[in-house]
C-alpha cells in the first residue's frame, strides 16, 4: 500500500510540467542506460568510443547536479541548465550512432519539453538552438565538402520538429496556466467567503445566546434548525420529568389562567410550521398545579430570495411579571370599584328619597337633581369598570355544560336583528343543528356576539351579514361573514392582539378599543378551539370559530 502510494507520488512528480527535476532526470538516465546496454550487446565498439563515453559521463554528472544543486533557490532561467546538458549528451550519442541508430536524436524532444515547461516560449527557442548546435550542426559539418540542399533539409528536420513541439507545448501550458490562475483566484475567494461566513455565524450565535428571549428557527418541513440558549432553558422548564428531549406536543403548555392543555396544532411552533404568522400569543408553561410561567409568543415566516416559504422563526418572551402586574392592577381596580359601588348606590337611594319630598324649595330640588344625575353617571362608570375587569377574567374559569353551539349562534343572530335593521344592514343565517357538546354557553355567546357586533360596526349601511353554523370534518364551524370595510393581509397579522385596531378603523369615526377580538380568541382557545379570519380590503371579512366535537375538554 505504502509502495503503491510512493510510486504514485513519484509519477505525479515526473508528470508535473514544472516540479520533480531530479526524478525526471533519473528516469531519463535509466532509459539511456538500458538503451546503451542493448547497443553494447551487438555493437560494443560504439559504446566504447570516446564521444559516447563522454556523453555518458556528462549525463551522469548532469543527474548528480539535478539532485544536489538547490535549483528552486536559483533564478528561473537556471532551470534550463539540466535539459541543455541532456541535449548535449544526446548530441554526442547521436554523433557516434549517426549511421546505425540516428533516431537516438529523437531523445532530445524530452529535455526540450522540460525547457518549455520551465521557461515557456524562451524554453522552446533555447531547445531549438541547442538541438541545432548539438545535432544539426555536426551533421552539416560532416557533409561540408559536398553538401547539398537535401543534406541541409535533413539536418534541419529535427530542430524544426523541436520548435513545433515546443511551441505547441508552450501554447497548451499557457492555457493551463490561465486555468490554474482562475482556479486559484476562485479558491481564494471561496476561502475568504467561508471565513466571513464562519465569523458571521459565531457573531450571530453570540447575539442569539445573549438575548433574554427564546428563539427557534424551523425549516420548511418543521425540523428545528436553530434553538438559542434561552429557548433551551424554556424547553427544559416545561418538559415532563419522565421524558427526555420531548417534542413540542409533549411539553407542559396550557392556556394562561386555565388548566386546559393546549392541543398540539395550537402550540406556537406547530402554528408557525402550519404557515401561520402571529404576535403576542400568550401561553402558560410548567407542571400542572403550579402557577405557570407566561410566555408571549410570536411567529414570522421566512422567505427565500424567490419569495418561497423557507421556514419560520418563533420567539418566546417571558411576560410573567408583566401579566402578574396587570392582574394585580385589575384586581385592585375591581376591588376599588366594588367598594365604591355600595356607598354610591346608597347615596343615589337617599338622593331619590330626598327628591321625593314634596315641600322642597325649587332651588334645592334642582341641586338634588344635578347631584343625582352625577351620582348615576359615576355609578355607570364604576359599573363599567367592574364589568371590564369581570369580562377580562372570564377566561379564568369556564363552566362547561352540555349545549348545542347552533342554538347559541341562533340566539346571537336573533338578538342582533333589531340593531341590524336599525343600521340598514341585511342580516341572515344558515344554521345547521350541531351535536351537544361541553361548552360554556355564556362565554361562547360572548365570543360570537363580539364577532357579530364587529360585523355590524364595520359594515356600512346597505351591506350584508350572514351567520353560518355547520358541521365540517368533525368540528362545528361558526362563521360571521360581512360585506364591510375588510382588512389587508398585514392588518390581519396583529388582529387578535389586545388594543390593536386597524389603520382604517382608527381613522374612522367607528368607536372601539381593540379588546373584543383578543378576548374572543382567548375564549375560543379556552374551549380548545381555533379562530381564523379571511378578509379583503373593501370587500368584507369572514371570521370563523372552529370547535372540535370531541376535543372540548377542561383537562
Ligand atoms: P374594536 O373595539 O376596535 O372593534 P376588536 O378587538 O373587536 O376591537 O377589533 C380589533 C380591530 O379589528 C378593529 O378595530 C378593526 O380594525 C378590526 N376588525 C374587527 N372586526 C372587523 C370586521 N368585521 N371588519 C373589518 N375590520 C374588523
Chain segment 399-436, per-residue pLDDT in tens: 788 999 999 999 999 989 998 999 999 999 999 999 99
Residue from 500, 498, 299, 287 nearest 395 by CA: 498
User: What pLDDT is stored for residue 554 in this prediction?
Assistant: 39
Nearest to 545 by CA among 519, 508, 509: 519
Which of the residue ranges 6-15, 294-303, 355-364 would you say has the lowest mean pLDDT? 6-15
Q: What is the end-to-end Cα distance of the chain in Å, rounded?
A: 69
Of 15-29, 81-95, 197-211, 529-543, minimum mean pLDDT range: 15-29
pLDDT band at 387 (very low <50, low <70, confident <90, very high): low
Best of 420, 423, 451, 454 for a ligand 1 pocket test (most atoms within 8 Å of beta carbon): 454
Contacts of 532 (CB under 8 A, 6+ apart): 543, 544, 546
d(CA 94, CA 111): 15
Which residue out of 517, 533, 536, 537 has the highest number of ligand 1 atoms within 8 Å of its CB and is therefore the one to mutate? 517
Question: Which numbered atom of ligand 1 lies nearest the CA of 514?
Answer: 8
Burial category of 411 from C-beta neighbours within 10 Å (exposed 0-12, middle 13-18, buried 19 and up) = middle
Q: Give the model's pLDDT for residue 255.
A: 80
Q: Cell 360571521 maps to which residue?
A: 480
In Å, what is the CA distance from 375 to each residue of 254, 335, 337?
Answer: 43, 19, 14
Work out the average pLDDT over 484-492: 88
CA of 146 to the centre of ligand 1 (A): 116
Q: How far apart are the C-alpha atoms of 111 and 124, rounded to whole Å?
A: 10
424 against 388, higher pLDDT: 424
Mean pLDDT of 25-48: 91
467 pLDDT higher than 80: yes
Which pairing describes strands 426-431 and 464-472: parallel, antiparallel, or unpaired? parallel
Q: Which helix (H) or strand (E) holds 272?
A: helix 268-273
**CA dist 551 → 25, 215, 222, 395 (Å):** 87, 30, 24, 18
User: What is the C-alpha separation between 314 and 327, in angstroms, rounded?
Assistant: 26
- Tens-place pLDDT, residues 255-312: 876 677 888 888 999 999 988 888 778 888 888 777 788 888 999 999 998 989 899 9
> Rounded to the nearest 5 degrees, what angle is found at the Cα of 325, between the Cα atoms of 323 and 331?
100
What are the backbone angles phi and psi of residue 487, rounded to the nearest 5°?
-145, 155
pLDDT value, residue 555? 36
Q: What b/e string do you get for 21-36 counting C-beta neighbours within 10 Å, with b at 16 or more?
A: bbbbbbebbeebeeeb
Which residue's CA is the nearest one to ligand 1's atom 13?
501
The answer to whether 437 and 405 have CB atoms below 8 angstroms apart is: yes
Segment 113-134, tens digit of pLDDT = 989 988 889 999 999 999 999 9
Residue ranges around ligand 1 (CB below 6 Å)? 454-455, 457-458, 482, 484-487, 495, 500-502, 505, 512-518, 541
Ligand 1 centroid to residue 513 C-alpha, Å: 9
Q: Is 301 helix (H, G, I), strand (E, B) or coil?
A: strand
- The answer to whether the CB of 232 falls within 8 A of the CB of 216 is no
In the structure grid, which three cell numbers stand for residue 114, read together? 522540460
Predicted TM-score of the model (pTM): 0.48
Amino acid at each position: 500500500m505504502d509502495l503503491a502510494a510512493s510510486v504514485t507520488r513519484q509519477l505525479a512528480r515526473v508528470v508535473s510540467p514544472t516540479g520533480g527535476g531530479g526524478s525526471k532526470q533519473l528516469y531519463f538516465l535509466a532509459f539511456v542506460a538500458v538503451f546503451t546496454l542493448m547497443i553494447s550487446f551487438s555493437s560494443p565498439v560504439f559504446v566504447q568510443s570516446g564521444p559516447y563515453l563522454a556523453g555518458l559521463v556528462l549525463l551522469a554528472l548532469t543527474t548528480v547536479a539535478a539532485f544536489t544543486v538547490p535549483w528552486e533557490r536559483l533564478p528561473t532561467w537556471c532551470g534550463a541548465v539540466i535539459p541543455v546538458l541532456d541535449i548535449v549528451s544526446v548530441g554526442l550519442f547521436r554523433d557516434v550512432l549517426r549511421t546505425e541508430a540516428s533516431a537516438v536524436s529523437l531523445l532530445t524532444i524530452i529535455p526540450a519539453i522540460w525547457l518549455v515547461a520551465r521557461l515557456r516560449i524562451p524554453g522552446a527557442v533555447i531547445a531549438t538552438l541547442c538541438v541545432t548546435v548539438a545535432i544539426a550542426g555536426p551533421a552539416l559539418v560532416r557533409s561540408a565538402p559536398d553538401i547539398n540542399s537535401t543534406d541541409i533539409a535533413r539536418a534541419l528536420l529535427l530542430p524544426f520538429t523541436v520548435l513545433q513541439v515546443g511551441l505547441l507545448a508552450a501554447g497548451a501550458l499557457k492555457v493551463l496556466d490561465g486555468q490554474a490562475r482562475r482556479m486559484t483566484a476562485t479558491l481564494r475567494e471561496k476561502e475568504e467567503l467561508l471565513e466571513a461566513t464562519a465569523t458571521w455565524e459565531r457573531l450571530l450565535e453570540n447575539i442569539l445566546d445573549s438575548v433574554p428571549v427564546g428563539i427557534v428557527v424551523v425549516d420548511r418541513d418543521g425540523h428545528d434548525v436553530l434553538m438559542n440558549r434561552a429557548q433551551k432553558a424554556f424547553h427544559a422548564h416545561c418538559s415532563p420529568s419522565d421524558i427526555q428531549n420531548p417534542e413540542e406536543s409533549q411539553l407542559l403548555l396550557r392556556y394562561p389562567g386555565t388548566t386546559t392543555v393546549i392541543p398540539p396544532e395550537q402550540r406556537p411552533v406547530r402554528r408557525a410550521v402550519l404557515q401561520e404568522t402571529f404576535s403576542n400569543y400568550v401561553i402558560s408553561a410548567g407542571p400542572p398545579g403550579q402557577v405557570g410561567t407566561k410566555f408571549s409568543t410570536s411567529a414570522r415566516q421566512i422567505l427565500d430570495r424567490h419569495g418561497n416559504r423557507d421556514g419560520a422563526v418563533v420567539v418566546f418572551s417571558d411576560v410573567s411579571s408583566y401579566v402578574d402586574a396587570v392582574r394585580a392592577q385589575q384586581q385592585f381596580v375591581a376591588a376599588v370599584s366594588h367598594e365604591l359601588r355600595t356607598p354610591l348606590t346608597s347615596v343615589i337611594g337617599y338622593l331619590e328619597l330626598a327628591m321625593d319630598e314634596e315641600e322642597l324649595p325649587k332651588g334645592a330640588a334642582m341641586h338634588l337633581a344635578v347631584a343625582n344625575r352625577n351620582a348615576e353617571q359615576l355609578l355607570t362608570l364604576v359599573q363599567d369598570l367592574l364589568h371590564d375587569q369581570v369580562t377580562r377574567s372570564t377566561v379564568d374559569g369556564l363552566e362547561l355544560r352540555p349545549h348545542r353551539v347552533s342554538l347559541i349562534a341562533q340566539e346571537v343572530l336573533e338578538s342582533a336583528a333589531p340593531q341590524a335593521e336599525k343600521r340598514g344592514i341585511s342580516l341572515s343565517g344558515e344554521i345547521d343543528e350541531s351535536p351537544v357538546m361541553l361548552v360554556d354557553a355564556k362565554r361562547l355567546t360572548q365570543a360570537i356576539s363580539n364577532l357579530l357586533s364587529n360585523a355590524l360596526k364595520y359594515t356600512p349601511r346597505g351591506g350584508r351579514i350572514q351567520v353560518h353554523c355547520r358541521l365540517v370534518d368533525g368540528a362545528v364551524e361558526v362563521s360571521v361573514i360581512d360585506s364591510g370595510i375588510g382588512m389587508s393581509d398585514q392588518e390581519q397579522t396583529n388582529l387578535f392582539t389586545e388594543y390593536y385596531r386597524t389603520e382604517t378603523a382608527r381613522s374612522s369615526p367607528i368607536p372601539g378599543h381593540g379588546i373584543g377580538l383578543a378576548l374572543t380568541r382567548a375564549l375560543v382557545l379556552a374551549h380548545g378551539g381555533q379562530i381564523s379570519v379571511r378578509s379583503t380590503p373593501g370587500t368584507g371579512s369572514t371570521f370563523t370559530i372552529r370547535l372540535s366535537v370531541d376535543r372540548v375538554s377542561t383537562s
